[in-house]
Structure 1
Amino acid sequence: MQLHTRTWGEGDRLALLVHGIMADHRTWRRVGPALAGLGYRVIAVDLRGHGASGRGEYRPELYADDLVETLPRGAELAIGHSLGALALSLAVDRLKPRRAVFSDPAWYLASPEPGVGPEALARFKSAGKEQIRALNPRWEEADVDIEARTLAVWDEATALDLAPLFGRDLLPAAPVVPSLVQLADPSALIPPERAALLEERGFEVRSVAGAGHTIHRDDFEGFMASLEGWV
């Protein structure tokens, strides 16, 4: 599937941005221009089921195939967040960026307790700004507004179709290209023992102190600072 994209900048270097579940390219409203200011041409996608992209089946390998169909090979940098990091990790051998950053990647979803899980995520589609703000107290108001707008066009079936992933270990065996794993503090997806395993496998791992799952919205300055040497 060809995905809808948004571009910032006209630099000689290319950067790719892949958002997480429930979001779309607008989640990168500060990151895209910041990378453009560093000399990149930045392309952000809307994953299938999100934003202005098409709908269909929702499986990790299909998200990855869409990235390969849509994005150019050989970018200088590729960054994926959460579900987008999972999709990027499954496409990186074909996209072949020079460097990859996996921001709080969805590589292990623990079996959900009663009342949480795919169904709870799907119900979040109806969340209002007060609920979004309460769950994300560090977000700027612009991000709360964007989240409300992106939820309105998000297909909640993408959350329901996550069910087969719960309890599966999707940690990559090794980095395909030089790779940074950037973690929330604490990370609900990559606890310390899994972070240590990733380091053993050849990934660089950095945490952004105090940041929640959506690091680039919780602490934009901390997000960018943690990319030192990678951008």
Structure 2
Amino acid sequence: MLLHTHTWGEGDRIALLIHGIMADHRTWRRVGPALAERGYRVIAVDLRGHGESGRGEYSPQLFADDLVETLPAGAELAIGHSLGGLTLSLAVDRLKPLRAVFSDPAWHLASSEEGFGPETFAQFKTASKEEIQAMNPRWEEADVDIELETLAAWDESTALSLGPLFGTDLLPAAPVVPSLVQLADPSFLISAERAALLADRGFEVRLVAGAGHTIHRDDFEGFMVSLNGWI
């Protein structure tokens, strides 16, 4: 499936941005322009079932195949957040960016016994502005309003399709390209033990102190600082 994309900048270098579950390209409203100022042409997708992209069947492999069909190979940089991080990891061997950044990637989805499940995420479809603000007290109001808009445009079946992955370990065996794993503090997806394992496997791991899961919205400055040497 060819995905809807949004572009910032006209630089000679290309950066790819892949959002997480429930979001779309608008989650990158500050990151896209910041990278464009650094000389990138920034391309952000709406994954299938999100934003202005099409609907259909859903699975991580289909999400990844869509990236390969839509985005140029050989970009200088690719950043994937949460589900976007998982999706990027499944497409990175075909997209072959020079550098990959996995921002709090969904490489371990807690089992229902741990208090989570796909239905939990699907229920966010009807979250109110007050609930979003309470869950994300550090977000700017613009991000809260965007979240309401992206939830309205989101097919919650994308979350339900991830059911078979809950409770499984999806950590890559090794980086395909030089790769940074950027973690929230604490990360509910990547434990300290898994972070250490990723470092042993050749990933660079950086913690953004005090940031929540959506690091680029929780602490934009901390997010950009943690990319030093990668952008």
Alignment of 1:8-87 (within 5 A): 8-87=8-87
Question: 1:216 aligned to 2:194?
Answer: no
Aligned to 2:116: 116
Q: Give the equivalent residue in structure 2 for 1:98.
A: 98
- Deviation of the 1:114 alpha carbon: 7.6
Give me the TM-score of the superposition, normalised by structure 1: 0.99
Report the CA distance shift for 1:203/1:114 in structure 2 as closer, same or farther (over 3 A).
Answer: closer
> Which residue of the partner structure matches residue 165 of structure 1?
165
- Tell me the SS of whatever aligns to 1:79: strand
CA contact (8 A) 2:3 2:70 kept: yes
Q: What's the CA shift string for 1:119-161, capped at 9, x where partnerless?
A: 1211110111000000000000000000000000100001111
Q: Which residue of 2 aligns with 1:198?
A: 198
Q: Is the Cα contact below 8 Å between 2:80 and 2:101 reproduced in 1?
A: yes
Unaligned runs of 5+ in 1: none
| CA-CA distance at 1:112 after TM superposition | 2.2
**Whole-angstrom distance in 1 between the partners of 2:22 and 2:112:** 18
CA distance in 2, matches of 1:150, 1:113: 29
Tell me the amino acid that sits aligned with residue 119 of structure 2.
E
Instruction: Give me the whole-angstrom Cα distance separating, in 1, the residues matched to 2:229 and 2:208.
Output: 15
* 2:57 maps to amino acid: E
| 1:114/1:223 CA distance change after superposition, 3 Å | closer
Deviation string for 1:52-100 (max 9, x for gaps)? Answer: 0001111111000000000000000000000000000000000000000
Q: Distance in 1 between matches of 2:200 and 2:114?
A: 34
Cα-Cα RMSD: 0.9
Query: Matched residues in 1 for 2:215 and 2:114: separation?
Result: 27
Sequence identity of aligned pairs in percent? 82
**Matched residue SS, 1:181:** strand
Aligned mates of 1:120, 1:60 — CA distance in 2: 18
The answer for the alignment partner of 1:226 in structure 2 is 226
